[in-house]
Amino acid sequence: MLTTSRPRPRLALLVCVLSSSLVGLDSLMSTVALPAIARDLDAGLAVQQWVVAAFLLGLGSLLLVGGALGDAYDRWAIMGIGTAGFGIAALACALAPTAPVLIAARLVQGAAAALTVPAALSLITATFEGEERSRAIRSWTAWSGVSVVVGPLLGGVLVDAISWRATFAILVPLSAVVLVLVARGAPSPLPRGAGTAIDRVGALLGVVLVGGPVFALIQGPELGWTHPLVLGAAAAGGMSAWAFLHWERRAVNALLPLGLFRSRAFSVLSVVTFVLYGALIASGVYTVLFLSQTAGYSSTAAGLAAAVPIVVLFVLSPWLGSLSDRSSPRLFVAGGALVAGAGILLLLRVDADADFVGAVLPSVLLHGIGLTMLVAPLTAGVLGAAGDEHAGVASGFNSAVARIGSLLGVAVVGLVVSAQFSASVDRLVGDQPAVERVAQQARERPLVAAPAGDLPAAQRAELAQDLRSASLDAFRLGVVVIGGLAVLAALLAFVGMPGRCRLPAAGCPGGALAGAHRDLEPA
């Protein structure tokens, strides 16, 4: 008779921390690397959007599938497969000769991350019991949070010192370390999974319903809104949304139990999560692009600006989470969204030179304080509204909604930025045949102030000044849209969130950025 050895708890925790850290490092380092990627691959804003969006598409649309695979087969095996896929895709990103290859590799990276992210919490809950489990989840959240804090700065240093390719290459040996630890820590033989059937139809429809609109939003300005690919992608997304809801109502092993949405609080807070994370992640992406490409910041300096809100989050979140538990979580979520929105709107004071101390730092600090106020009570509110019987699914859904909201936020704000940039270039450049060819190339690269192509020095300097002005106009309009989304989320939270949450917010220090509630039991 075969026996199954119990995995070593410390080794299991180390595997979970490192695997989660890989995803945290990748998502933030790649954002800081976007300007360098565009320069090296001679690409415009659409490619930069896709570098972010492809990863989020793979991750967000397959998170629930990844969790179901861990239940159906084996968590250690799924963790190993996901880590191996993530490392191979990271190597492909580092070696990518063209933008399409890079985007395809990013999509695979996101899909691989969708296996490792839910497997981490599942491994902890399966390995530890009682108070040990609570301590393990606290350690996992805290140490994984370190990678989120370090990511922007490390990415900036690697880009400035070596290349944008180094931000992906560094993930390859780290993935290999995790694989070795998985091989050493997995029980022998591997235990069988629960045998749960996978909702393959729901998974496929989920990818199309998210990917179709995103493709249309990102490629619409470049291909034209009446292009067959754009119209086809939008139509496919709409039809898939209808088919997904129809299928999930009847599926025996539904990917997403639609009964969750009978709770008004769960429905409203899911929408709040979607809108808020769309605003917050879009703010980070386009602020980095503006600081690097328009204001002339180094990648390290732009990474420092991106790191400030995250540092504030992980330093103050446990304290503010406890404070919200003693007062009103609704006020903290709504008030935090307003404070974060005010911080984002402070960027309207930024000019083309973007003075860090006088203009950028106050904005990112206030943004971070608002973020800190809202993420813990928001996550606790979503999980509490779902109830104990759906806590695991609700946690995965909350993380997926945050990623999908981020994905669409980046796409929508990019559409606004592109349209405003082109309009400003048309207004500033006017009818100047001598610079029209270079100006047309510039329209495809919003927020880039250095014109490509050969021009006499005087015309080049004049066009560069026009592009800086156009970039500032486009960035400010993007800031208004992002700030408006934060205000909308605040209003929704104030109206739809209950005054008290069943779960304590102090147990969700990182919110959907870092993990689930520390007391969450496996579903």
Distance CA 50, CA 216 (A): 12
Distance CA 395, CA 109 (A): 21
Distance CA 52, CA 49 (A): 5
Question: Quick one: pLDDT at residue 325?
Answer: 56
Question: Quick one: pLDDT at residue 2?
Answer: 39
Instruction: Band the pLDDT of 197: cuts 50, 70, 90.
Output: low
- Give the residue-averaged pLDDT of 431-460: 69
Chain segment 42-98, per-residue pLDDT in tens:
888 889 989 998 998 888 888 878 877 776 777 888 889 999 999 999 999 999 999
> Helices 329-345 and 361-386 meet at what angle, rounded to 10?
150
For residue 521, is pLDDT > 50?
no
Question: Quick one: pLDDT at residue 33?
Answer: 92
Q: Is the peptide bond preceding residue 189 cis, with omega within 30 degrees of 0?
A: yes
Chain segment 326-346, per-residue pLDDT in tens:
666 778 888 889 999 999 999
First-residue to last-residue Cα distance in the chain: 29
Instruction: Band the pLDDT of 503: cuts 50, 70, 90.
Output: very low
For residue 139, is pLDDT > 80?
no
DSSP annotation string for 465-506 = HHHHHHHHHHHHHHHHHHHHHHHHHHHHHHHHS-SS-SS-GG
Chain segment 461-483, per-residue pLDDT in tens:
777 788 888 889 999 999 999 99
Question: Quick one: pLDDT at residue 147?
Answer: 75
Distance CA 478, CA 476 (A): 5
- 170, 158 contact by CB (below 8 A): yes
Question: Quick one: pLDDT at residue 188?
Answer: 60
Phi then psi for residue 519, to 5 deg, are: -95, 10
> Helices 75-95 and 171-185 meet at what angle, rounded to 10?
160
Most confident of 203-207, 408-412, 451-455: 408-412
Mean pLDDT of the residues in the chain: 81
DSSP annotation string for 248-291 = HHH-TT-SS-GGGGGSHHHHHHHHHHHHHHHHHHHHHHHHHHII
Least confident of 129-143, 204-218, 398-412: 129-143
Q: Which two tokens stand for residue 184?
A: 């050493």
- Give the residue-averaged pLDDT of 107-134: 81
Least confident of 103-117, 140-154, 180-194, 224-238: 180-194
Question: Quick one: pLDDT at residue 3?
Answer: 40
Distance CA 385, CA 362 (A): 35
DSSP annotation string for 134-198 = HHHHHHHHHHHHHHHHHHHHHHHHHHHHT-THHHHHTHHHHHHHHHHHHHHHS-SSPPP---PPP
Determine the 3-state secondary structure of 1 from DSSP. Answer: coil
Question: Quick one: pLDDT at residue 500?
Answer: 56
Question: Quick one: pLDDT at residue 488?
Answer: 93
Instruction: Band the pLDDT of 322: cuts 50, 70, 90.
Output: low
Instruction: Band the pLDDT of 175: cuts 50, 70, 90.
Output: very high
Question: Quick one: pLDDT at residue 286?
Answer: 92
Q: Which two tokens stand for residue 41?
A: 């691959």
Distance CA 506, CA 239 (A): 40
Instruction: Band the pLDDT of 430: cuts 50, 70, 90.
Output: low
Distance CA 168, CA 97 (A): 14
- Give the residue-averaged pLDDT of 397-404: 82
